[in-house]
């Protein structure tokens, strides 16, 4: 009887720890990685980028026209727009790429295993095209856009926070 209680307690503790880790590293609204976890993932991506003929690109994405949507249609609609943006970003990337929401309407994409720098412009164009498509929420169409900054490793730096003047996650 006591061993059964201990086993159940250990199982619940393990489940609670897993949930706590998920909350610590995941944006609850979009399901993307959060700012804290992107720092960890960037370090891992740098290890891959040090392989011969492999580059890494960091895309900083700031949505255009999001604040007016949030202000006029409300936060519920704004949240739905952000969820759709996250879905589009994930759908536009390879499984080896990393996508995170780092602020209100700010996202970071880390593209790994890039063999030719020309591919970076193609990725940026693809992401921008996705952000420029109207977002339809509850029968209403919303126009977004995005400003995208790109940084290449190792040319522009070795630290994520320095590449875009981001505060380090704490």
Interacting residues of 54 by C-beta distance below 8 A, sequence separation 6+: 48, 112, 113, 114, 115
Q: Give the pairing of strands 135-137 and 106-114.
A: unpaired
- Mark whether 105 is an active-site residue: yes
Phi/psi-derived region of residue 138, left when phi > 0, alpha when psi is between -120 and 50, beta in every other case? left
- Diameter of the chain measured on Cα atoms: 65
Selecting among 27, 39, 97, 105, the annotated active-site residue is 105
Q: With beta carbons less than 8 A apart as the criterion, state whether 44 and 51 touch.
A: no
Catalogue the E-assigned strands of 30-166: 55-64, 98-101, 106-114, 135-137, 140-142, 145-153
Active site members? 105
């Amino acid at each position: 009887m006591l061993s059964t209680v201990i086993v159940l307690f250990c199982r619940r503790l393990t489940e609670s720890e897993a949930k706590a880790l998920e909350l610590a590293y995941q944006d609850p609204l979009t399901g993307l990685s959060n700012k804290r976890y992107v720092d960890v993932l960037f370090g891992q991506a740098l290890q891959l980028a040090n392989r011969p003929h492999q580059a890494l690109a960091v895309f900083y994405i700031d949505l255009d026209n999001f604040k007016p949507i949030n202000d006029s249609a409300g936060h519920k609609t704004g949240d739905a727009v952000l969820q759709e943006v996250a879905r589009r970003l994930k759908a536009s990337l390879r499984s080896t790429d990393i996508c995170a929401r780092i602020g209100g309407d700010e996202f970071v994409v880390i593209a790994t295993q890039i063999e030719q720098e020309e591919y970076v412009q193609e990725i940026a164009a693809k992401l921008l095209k996705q952000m420029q498509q109207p977002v339809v929420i509850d029968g209403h169409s919303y126009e977004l856009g995005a400003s995208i900054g790109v940084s290449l490793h190792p040319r522009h730096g070795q630290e994520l926070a320095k590449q875009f003047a981001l505060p380090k996650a704490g």
